[in-house]
Structure 1
Amino acid sequence: MYIKNLTKEQAKQIIKWRYETPYDFYNMDDDKDSLNELLHYYGVFDGKDLIGFYCLESFAQVPIGREKGLYPEMEGLIDLGFGLKPELTGQGYGYRFINFIIDEIQQKYNLNKIRLTVAEFNKRAISLYEKLGFEMKSSFTANNTAFLVMIKKL
């Protein structure tokens, strides 16, 4: 696997990814705002195939949570968000995918913690994050969806 900045064409591919219910919550809108945001993300590739993406800092936070001050700044902590291509989810690929991303950002930043936010209904992802060493630290509700904020100490 390797990482590179997303091109406009690759960002458009991601916008077209469609997850099955209930994960369709993560489907992106096909609009200019989504495209512009994705251009701040990094693509994760396996060979020539775009298999996922990740984003950092404010791009990885739920906007309402950020507005309410639910993401306190901490020295040595970075927020991480990511997505795996729909065809690859639920097949045990996520552990390797997320570990790869964590290793990459650890090499770039002086970190001692990584924080992520996940929708509470996404039990499959929460179970994976716990296996990766993330612990639930807080929760909040935004737009009728409950979210968990999880932190992994490095």
Structure 2
Amino acid sequence: MVIKVKLIFKEMTKEHAENILMWKYEIPYDFYNNDVTEENIFEMMNGNYRCFLNEEDEIIGFFCIGEAARVPAGHPLGIYKEVATDIGLGMNPKLVGKGHGVLFCQHVLDQVQKIELGSPLRLTVASFNKRATHLYEELGFKKKDTFHKGTVEFITMVKTEEEQCK
């Protein structure tokens, strides 16, 4: 499976959601593994999730915006009080760690900027995920806040409107 320059942007379907929920990541990224449940499928089909397919109709990754991209433990701490477009994303585990991150994230950011014009972009990432934080910094995101959910530390990263124009 490869990412080609041309990715096809799709609304999330039940079949896409089930496929994504079956993805299994290697340790320590298994933190991102999910179960195929009706609740998880319903969440992914709530209109906030979209996916990218390659020309062979294989799912490359997905993204979500808004509340679906936030970690609930951040709310009582005021982490999400500033106006921003929250983005969550995931790449097919067959592609993780193979140099596809920049291209995939650029496709996600291009789509998000078409949907949500003119606001800062915010990501929330587990701090142990150094590959992701490094990638997001390369794309112009800056670390902002940290908080915990149980034993896991999370970092929010923000890309301002000015940085989006660069």
Name the residue aligned to 2:64.
Answer: 55
Q: Structure 1: how far apart are the matches of 2:104 and 2:51?
A: 12
Distance (whole Å) between structure 1 residues aligned to residue 107 and residue 62 of structure 2: 12
Secondary structure at 1:88 match in 2? coil
- Aligned residue among 9, 18, 27 for 2:15: 9
Question: How far 1:144 moved relative to its partner?
Answer: 1.2
1:1-150 pair list within 5 angstroms: 1-40=7-46, 41-47=49-55, 48-74=57-83, 77-150=84-157
Deviations 1:93-148 (A, max 9, x none): 01000111111121222224100000000011111111011100110001210000
Consecutive aligned runs of 4 or more in structure 1 exceeding 3 Å deviation? none
Cα distance in 2, alignment partners of residues 106 and 13 from structure 1: 26
Shift of 1:2: 2.1
Which deviates more from structure 2 when the two are superposed, residues 18-27 or residues 41-50? 41-50
8 Å contact from structure 1 (residues 139, 148) kept in 2? yes
Moved more, 79-88 or 60-69: 60-69
With structure 1 as the length reference, what TM-score do the two structures score? 0.93
SS at match of 1:34: helix
Q: Aligned partners of 1:73, 1:150: CA distance in 2, in Å? A: 12
Give the gaps of 5 or more residues in structure 1.
Answer: none
Q: Which amino acid aligns with 1:99?
A: Q
- In the comparison of the two structures, how many residue pairs are matched? 152
- Percent identical: 40
Contact persistence 1:78–1:111 (CA under 8 A) = no
Higher strand share: 1
Query: How well do the aligned residues superpose, as a CA RMSD in angstroms?
Result: 1.2
**C-alpha distance in 2 between matches for 1:127 and 1:4:** 27
User: What is the TM-score with the length of structure 2 in the denominator?
Assistant: 0.87
